[in-house]
Amino acid sequence: MKVLITGGAGFIGSYLAEKYLERGDEVYIIDDLSTGSLDNIRHLQENETYKGRLFVTVDTILNREVLLELIGICDVVVHLAAAVGVQYILDNPLSSIMINIKGTEVVLELCAKFKKKVLIASTSEVYGKQTHAPFRETDDCVYGASGKFRWSYAASKLMDEFFALAYYRTMNLPVIIVRFFNTVGPRQTGRYGMVIPRFVKQCLRNEPITIYGDGTQTRAFTHVKFVASAVMKLIDSPKAIGEIINIGATEEVSIKELAERIKRLTGSQSELRFIPYDQAFGRDFEDMLRRVPSVDKLHSIVGPIPTFVLDDILQDVIGYFRSHENFA
């Protein structure tokens, strides 16, 4: 099979590319390297077994001609390219909306032209301010005012979902929409506000662990390898077509407890330092108090997938940063 991964030089994309290459597929990547990096896929490019099966184009998905050619060649498209991360969205409000809405529009239009199956990456952020747990795919989405810019990421991804469903309903385009919950693992950078790499780096340097808010907000963290397996299984499953599906783990942890666990696992001397949201992100910010998925639908479609407990995920990330002493 020939698979096009937009954003394939990114964190999740690079793991997915590796899994497809391991399986014997051909992988095409388009990435503008805005938040991704060729370092994420260098080990794949240098692997002799994958020679002649990995093709990388450094360009933006907004370049229609390039995308037209790539989608024409491939059998299936995994659309991951997006402006990602709360801090990144707040720093780049206009370009983020352009990429997340216009970029997806171009991908869907060209997939429809060639009738190619496409998986669209959405996010747990689309559930918005809901406080119950777990989130089911049929739950309401509740956002803050549009003046609070953090919601633009959720709203743009929700629009992508509507776009994809509209193509499915009107043109029978085989689309799959996945909502990723906090996905973590080696190679994720802490530059754009991702909490685990940030805490691990702070602990390894014995610097204060900076917790935004009071730390009672909870999350459930998923290993990126679980996410890559789930994506591949969904693409192979006819039952996933036209569906919205959560992908995540269900082990809920508060951010304060997460900081304490990372401190313990690294043997760090770091102190916990609490920073009010407005100091960390400015006045446009509101946080989500809980974010835990229901994965009933995922399992009903693809069956069980091996999961990772949180401590193992954390050890994996800590091991990665320890072996990369010059981490940024």
Ligand X SMILES: NC(=O)c1ccc[n+]([C@@H]2O[C@H](COP(=O)([O-])OP(=O)(O)OC[C@H]3O[C@@H](n4cnc5c(N)ncnc54)[C@H](O)[C@@H]3O)[C@@H](O)[C@H]2O)c1
* Residues noted as catalytic: 153
229 forms part of the interface with ligand X (CB under 6 A): no
Q: Count residues contacting ligand X (CB under 6 A)?
A: 28
61 forms part of the interface with ligand X (CB under 6 A): yes
User: First CA to last CA across the chain, in angstroms?
Assistant: 37
Cite the DSSP H helix spans in the chain. 11-23, 42-45, 64-73, 86-91, 93-97, 104-114, 151-171, 195-204, 224-236, 255-266, 277-281, 296-302, 310-323
User: Are the beta carbons of 59 and 66 closer than 8 angstroms?
Assistant: yes
Q: How far is the CB of 195 from ligand X (least distance, A)?
A: 10
Distances (CA, A) of 2 to 21, 222, 239: 10, 27, 21
Find residue 219's DSSP bridge partners. 253
Residue range at the interface with ligand X (CB under 6 A); choices 34-42, 136-144, 202-210, 305-313? 34-42
70 forms part of the interface with ligand X (CB under 6 A): no
**Of positions 3, 4, 21, 36, contacts ligand X by CB under 6 A:** 36
234 forms part of the interface with ligand X (CB under 6 A): no
Q: How far is the CB of 63 from ligand X (least distance, A)?
A: 8
Residue range at the interface with ligand X (CB under 6 A); choices 59-67, 195-203, 237-245, 306-314? 59-67
**Of positions 3, 17, 103, 201, contacts ligand X by CB under 6 A:** 103
Instruction: Give the residue from 108, 270, 299, 146 showing the smallest Cα distance to 203.
Output: 270
β-pairing verdict for 218-220 and 252-254: antiparallel
Within residues 107-136, the interface with ligand X by CB under 6 A covers 121, 123
Residue range at the interface with ligand X (CB under 6 A); choices 42-50, 80-88, 132-140, 236-244? 80-88
Tell me the DSSP string of 114-177.
HT-EEEEEEEGGGGBT--SSSB-TTS--B---TTSTTHHHHHHHHHHHHHHHHHHHHH---EEE
Whichever of 159 and 208 has its CB closer to ligand X, that residue is 159
**Of positions 4, 5, 11, 27, contacts ligand X by CB under 6 A:** 11
180 forms part of the interface with ligand X (CB under 6 A): yes
Backbone φ/ψ region at 21: left (φ over 0), alpha (ψ -120 to 50), beta:
alpha
Q: Which residue is at the shortest CB distance from ligand X?
A: 36
**Of positions 33, 165, 289, 305, contacts ligand X by CB under 6 A:** 33
Residue range at the interface with ligand X (CB under 6 A); choices 11-19, 163-171, 195-203, 236-244? 11-19
243 forms part of the interface with ligand X (CB under 6 A): no
**Of positions 56, 80, 106, 240, contacts ligand X by CB under 6 A:** 80
**Amino acid residing at 50:** Y
Output Rg (C-alpha) for the chain, integer angstroms: 19
**Of positions 183, 218, 229, 266, contacts ligand X by CB under 6 A:** 183
How many other CB atoms are there within 10 angstroms of residue 143's CB atom?
18
Q: Write out the two tokens for 233.
A: 């299984």
**Of positions 4, 5, 10, 177, contacts ligand X by CB under 6 A:** 10
Contacts with ligand X by CB under 6 A lie at 6-7, 9-13, 30-36, 60-62, 80-82, 84, 99, 103, 121, 123, 180, 182-183
